[in-house]
Structure 1
Amino acid sequence: MVEWPIAELLPHAGDMILIDRVVDFGPEHVHTQLRVRPDGLFSLPDGSLPAWVGVELMAQSVAAYAGCQSRLLSEPVQLGFLLGTRSFQCNVEAFAAGIDLDIHALRSLQDDNGMGVFECRISGPGVLAEARLSVFRPPQVASYLQEPGHD
């Protein structure tokens, strides 16, 4: 298990951090986990988590991958952007409260301009979700956040 707290790997804060931990990572992959909590930010009345939140779980896992890579290089964690999701499929409508989910992301493409593609999978008891995420982490993220005409 990775020793860095998840809050030090993601450019998120508080309740917006949905994953619990990074289990393993390498040059091309990350494995994260979470336990579905009935009192979570996106929880349904029965305590389950809607399946569409799976895209955010995958995106946060990719962000944790980037955070781990930054930490290895002693660089600060930087903001990235989810550009799109392809072929999201999930065999359940919601992730039941109390179950543990494993999220795996495998980098299939990365270019020097910060564009990347990850093949992602969520699995747990009776759960399988898959998608391909396109992401962008610009080299100079601050310049992308400035409004035109404001230097």
Structure 2
Amino acid sequence: MIDWPIAELVPHATDMILIDQVLAFDDETIQTRLTVRPDGPFNRPDGSLPAWIGIELMAQSVAAFAGCQARLRGEPVQLGFLLGTRKYECNVEHFPHGSELTIHARRSLQDDSGMGVFECTLSGPDIEVFARLNVYCPPNAADYLAEGAVND
């Protein structure tokens, strides 16, 4: 288990952070977990989370991976972007309230420009989810965002 607070690893507003904890990470992988609580911003009336939110849970795990890597290097956590997924397979329509979910992400590709691909799984009681996420973490996100504003 990693003692770093998630809010220091994932550059989101506190109420938008959906994962609870980093369990383990290394140079290529991360494992995170969460408990589905009924009061989040994406919950259905019965307290469950819709299955499509699995992509966000995986993306936040990838963000936590990047945050852990930055902390190890003594660098600030950078903003990154989920570009999309080529594949999302899920065997359920929702993640029930109270479910303990575990996310594994493995970096399969990353180039010097900041483009990356992660193979991700999410599992819980009778829950199996797979996705391949395409992500982008520009070398200096602040400059990247400012450049986009100038070009609009």
The runs of at least 4 aligned residues of structure 1 exceeding 4 Å deviation read none
Seq. identity, %: 65
**SS of residue paired to 1:148:** helix
Q: Aligned partner of 1:27: which letter? A: D
**SS of residue paired to 1:53:** helix
Q: In structure 2, what is the equivalent of residue 102 of structure 1?
A: 102
Provide the TM-score with structure 2 as the length reference. 0.96
**SS of residue paired to 2:150:** coil
Whole-angstrom distance in 2 between the partners of 1:26 and 1:115: 19
Q: Report the CA distance between 1:27 and its aligned residue.
A: 0.2
Whole-angstrom distance in 1 between the partners of 2:84 and 2:53: 14
Whole-angstrom distance in 1 between the partners of 2:58 and 2:126: 18
Q: In structure 2, what is the equivalent of residue 148 of structure 1?
A: 150
* Structure 1 gap segments, 5+ residues each: none
Q: Report the CA distance between 1:60 and its aligned residue.
A: 0.1
Q: Comparing both structures, which one devotes a greater share of its residues to helix?
A: 2
**Residues paired across the two proteins, number:** 150
In structure 2, the CA distance between the partners of 1:26 and 1:45, relative to structure 1 (3 Å rule), is: same
Whole-angstrom distance in 1 between the partners of 2:109 and 2:29: 12
Cα deviation digits, residues 1-57 of structure 1 (max 9, x gap): 001011110101221000000000000000000000011110000000000000000
Q: Aligned partner of 1:82: which letter? A: L
Q: Report the CA distance between 1:149 and its aligned residue.
A: 6.0
Q: Aligned partner of 1:52: which letter? A: W
